[in-house]
């Protein structure tokens, strides 16, 4: 049986075990004692420091117990030539010899000798010193391992604590949603009860009138007609507007996922845009310092040109690192204005500044007019796009980045303002001292400074060129990338998602050539 290393004790059955072995068992097999099968965790093991001391004492006793040397050991300590005990160490040859070899052998004449026991003690002292250092190193490593284990436990505990916090927060959110639902349902139930009572009253009145129409004779019906007219007037006395109530909104505020920010893009003169075959861009949608715009190929992009409408969402300005955002693209059914007939595509992708993600095969061009999405009279197509970060944490991160950009801009403007004040003071002092102290019309000089344009006094810093995008964007290059999760589509049988990654070109000539080479990956 091997010796116990860092001995630990099971608190249930008092079985001794190695810490490393037990840790491997609990982490890789199951969380129970391998001896008594009781539930056991790593932090419950009892550290038995006395086991190491007892083991060391037993080893010392075994080493101190005299034992008869074996024949092999005797042969090993004897000289092969003279068969005498090795008792001398030749410092010159670095070998052990007997006294005959040292005195009369002739091969070691003039060499330096030392007693073998003395040399052995020196070597043992050096070895023991190294052994002690190794033991200290082992103890330090074991201590480091234990520290890492404690760190692992603290990390797991912190993760469990966050999970508990999230669960508690989600439970409270669900409870608040249930409260909102009860309030909405209570309002709707009151409206329904009011309408139901009025409906029952009308039904009973109709039944009574129908009964009198069948049961009464003509003369009796004429006599009862006045009473019936009075009943009808009482019914119509309450206008129908009194029963019309405001609908209860069906939306519930999410405390985890932010709402979409949306914009509408109307493509006028769609037929002319198709003939030009160039991409068109929507007005930018600014959200938390990020700038989004829709990139549309009216005649299709790449291999689908002439067959499909291609629609992409571009992040034209934002954070330098890649971030995931959820987005929706919706094409309005203009023939009926029925939202249920709109084509809706939604997805989530990792965006970098200048990248486009979207759909190469958004909708067939030959079906736009026949399906009612293209207004043939006005020659317009309406697209809506929505975008949002997946969590409020990411939304706050975007806003924090934007605030830092604005503060940096403000600091630069303050510095420029101070510089202008210093320049103004210098100019005033220079003109006062010029021509023997001739007076300077400071108001005139100040007016000249005011007449300068804002750009001359406050040039835009180069670091802010990416915060607010301009309307003149270069066109995209070849798309790349891939999608990250499935698509939810309405009104179409085939689900497709493509991505176009575009980089801003340096000139308009390169943008026109890149539009013809755009291609996209397709997922079906």
State mean pLDDT over 351-366: 89
What's the pLDDT at 497? 47
191 and 92 both lie in a single domain:
no
Claim: this prediction has a pTM higher than 0.85: no
Residue 512 contacts residue 278 (beta carbons within 8 Å): yes
Range 417-422 contact pairs with CB under 8 angstroms and sequence separation of 24 or more:
420/449, 420/457
Specify the higher pLDDT residue, 60 or 12.
Answer: 12
Tell whether 440 is covered by a domain: no
Specify the higher pLDDT residue, 487 or 361.
Answer: 361
What's the pLDDT at 486? 37
The CATH number of whichever domain residue 383 belongs to comes to 2.60.210.10
- Tens digits of residue pLDDT in 182-234: 999 998 998 888 888 888 888 888 888 888 888 888 888 888 888 888 888 88
159 and 291 both lie in a single domain:
no
Total structural domains in the chain?
A: 4
Q: Where are the beta strands (DSSP E) in 245-392?
A: 261-268, 280-281, 285-287, 290-297, 308-317, 323-331, 343-351, 355-364, 380-388
Tell whether 406 is covered by a domain: no
DSSP tag of 32: B
Tell whether 411 is covered by a domain: no
236 and 201 both lie in a single domain:
yes
Tell whether 185 is covered by a domain: yes
**Is residue 428 pLDDT above 80, yes or no?**
yes
200 and 316 both lie in a single domain:
no
**Is residue 159 pLDDT above 80, yes or no?**
yes
52 and 88 both lie in a single domain:
no
| b/e per residue 83-95 (b: at least 16 CB within 10 A) | eeebebbbeeeee
Tell whether 439 is covered by a domain: no
Tell whether 171 is covered by a domain: yes
Residue 85's domain spans which residues?
Answer: 77-111
In percent, how much of the chain has pLDDT > 90?
A: 22
CA distance 168 to 151: 25
Phi, psi of 29 (to 5 degrees): -105, -85
- The radius of gyration of the chain from alpha carbons, rounded to an integer in Å, stands at 45
Tell whether 415 is covered by a domain: no
Give the three-class secondary structure for 24: helix
CA distance 76 to 86: 9
User: DSSP per residue over 403-443, as a string?
Assistant: HHHHHHHHHHHHHHHHHHHHHHHHHHHHHHHTTTT----HH
Number of Cβ within a 10 Å radius of residue 309: 29
> Comparing 59-73, 314-328, 361-375, 499-513, which segment has the lowest mean pLDDT?
499-513
> Comparing 39-48, 257-266, 331-340, 416-425, which segment has the lowest mean pLDDT?
39-48
> Comparing 109-123, 359-373, 376-390, 490-504, which segment has the lowest mean pLDDT?
490-504
107 and 169 both lie in a single domain:
no
State mean pLDDT over 141-169: 90
What's the pLDDT at 113? 76
Q: Which element (helix H / strand E) includes 192? A: helix 116-215
What's the pLDDT at 291? 92
338 and 376 both lie in a single domain:
yes
Query: How does residue 436 score in pLDDT terms, banded at 50, 70 and 90?
Result: low
285 and 141 both lie in a single domain:
no
Last residue within a domain, chosen from 224, 256, 288: 256
**Is residue 513 pLDDT above 70, yes or no?**
no
What's the pLDDT at 384? 92
Question: Nearest Cα to 518, choosing from 331, 299, 321?
Answer: 299
206 and 340 both lie in a single domain:
no
- Tens digits of residue pLDDT in 399-415: 999 999 999 999 999 99
- Tens digits of residue pLDDT in 68-106: 555 555 556 777 777 777 778 888 888 787 766 766 666
State mean pLDDT over 371-400: 90
Tell whether 524 is covered by a domain: no
206 and 246 both lie in a single domain:
yes
218 and 358 both lie in a single domain:
no
**Is residue 385 pLDDT above 90, yes or no?**
yes
- Tens digits of residue pLDDT in 444-478: 555 554 554 444 444 544 444 444 433 333 333 33
The CATH number of whichever domain residue 25 belongs to comes to 3.30.40.10
What's the pLDDT at 473? 33
Q: Say if residue 51 is exposed, middle or buried (CB neighbours under 10 Å; 0-12, 13-18, 19+).
A: middle
197 and 214 both lie in a single domain:
yes
């Amino acid at each position: 049986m091997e010796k116990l290393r860092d001995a630990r004790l099971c608190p249930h059955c008092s079985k001794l075990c190695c810490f490393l072995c037990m840790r491997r068992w609990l982490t890789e097999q199951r969380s129970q004692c391998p001896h008594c099968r009781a539930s056991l965790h790593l932090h419950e093991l009892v550290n038995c420091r006395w086991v190491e001391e007892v083991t060391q004492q037993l080893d010392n006793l075994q080493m101190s117990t005299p034992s008869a040397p074996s024949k092999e050991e005797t042969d090993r300590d004897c000289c092969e030539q003279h068969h005498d005990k090795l008792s001398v160490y030749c410092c010159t040859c670095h070998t052990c010899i007997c006294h005959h070899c040292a005195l009369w052998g002739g091969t070691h004449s003039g060499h330096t000798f030392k007693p073998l026991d003395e040399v052995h003690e020196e070597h043992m002292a050096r070895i023991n010193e190294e052994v002690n250092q190794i033991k200290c190193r082992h103890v330090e490593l074991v201590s480091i391992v234990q520290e890492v284990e404690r760190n692992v436990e603290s990390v797991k505990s912190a993760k469990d604590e966050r999970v508990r916090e999230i669960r508690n927060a989600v439970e409270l959110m669900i409870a608040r949603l249930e409260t909102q639902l009860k309030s909405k349902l209570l309002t709707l139930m009151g409206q329904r009860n009011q309408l139901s009572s009025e409906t029952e009253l009308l039904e009973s009145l109709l039944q009574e009138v129908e009964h009198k129409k069948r049961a009464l004779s003509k003369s009796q019906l004429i006599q009862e007609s006045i009473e019936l007219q009075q009943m009808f007037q009482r019914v119509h006395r309450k206008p129908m507007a009194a029963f019309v109530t405001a609908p209860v909104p069906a939306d519930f505020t999410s405390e985890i996922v932010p709402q979409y920010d949306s914009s509408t893009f109307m493509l006028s003169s769609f037929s002319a845009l198709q003939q030009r075959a160039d991409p068109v861009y929507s007005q930018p949608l600014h959200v938390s310092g990020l700038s989004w715009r829709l990139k549309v190929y009216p005649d299709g992009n790449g291999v689908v040109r002439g067959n499909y409408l291609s629609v992409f969402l571009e992040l034209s300005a934002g954070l330098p690192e890649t971030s995931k955002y959820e987005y929706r693209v919706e094409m309005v059914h203009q023939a009926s204005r029925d939202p249920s007939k709109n084509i809706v595509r939604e997805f989530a992708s990792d965006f970098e500044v200048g990248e486009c993600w979207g759909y190469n095969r958004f909708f067939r061009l030959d079906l736009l007019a026949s399906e009612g999405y293209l207004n043939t009279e006005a020659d317009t197509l309406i697209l809506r796009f929505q975008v949002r970060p997946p969590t409020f944490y990411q939304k706050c991160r975007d806003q924090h980045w934007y605030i830092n950009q604005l503060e940096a801009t403000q600091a630069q403007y303050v510095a420029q303002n101070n510089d202008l004040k210093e320049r103004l003071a210098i100019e005033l002092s220079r003109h006062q001292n010029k021509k023997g102290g001739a007076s300077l019309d400071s108001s005139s000089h100040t007016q000249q400074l005011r007449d300068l344009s804002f750009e001359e006094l406050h040039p835009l810093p180069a670091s802010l060129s990416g915060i607010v995008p301009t309307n003149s964007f270069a066109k995209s290059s070849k798309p790349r990338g891939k999608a990250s999760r499935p698509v939810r589509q309405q009104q179409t049988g085939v689900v497709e998602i493509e991505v176009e990654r575009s980089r801003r070109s340096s000139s308009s000539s390169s943008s026109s050539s890149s539009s013809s080479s755009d291609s996209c990956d397709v997922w079906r």
